[in-house]
Amino acid sequence: MSKAYTAYTGTFITQSGKNRTMTFIKNEDIPSSVIGEGSRQQVNGTEIVYDINRGGFRTFNWNTVQGYVTHRKIDFSFENTQSQR
């Protein structure tokens, strides 16, 4: 069943120095049944997020954001994700 989430889109510089644009759901909005309680913290400006386009958890680096991070409401379901616990 899908639910309304806020999806963010932003570009940041990866550790390898490349620009990466990602559309994601912030970890604070991800149900605990999907992410677990121990993985919700930000560390040194990076955040574990759910990358909608790649269908899995990734790290978004807020320290190297290029331009603006935008947001919009989407309907999304975590039911068929492989990352579910």
Instruction: Give residue 80's pLDDT.
Output: 67
Q: How does pLDDT run across 16-30, given as a tens digit for each residue?
A: 999 999 999 998 888
Instruction: Give residue 2's pLDDT.
Output: 83
**Mind giving me the DSSP string for the chain?**
--EEEEEEEEEEE-TTS-EEEEEEEEGGGS-HHHH-GGG---BTTEEEEEETTTTEEEEEEGGGEEEEEEEEEEEE--TT-TT--
Residue 45: pLDDT band (50, 70, 90) is confident
Give percent of the chain above pLDDT 70: 85
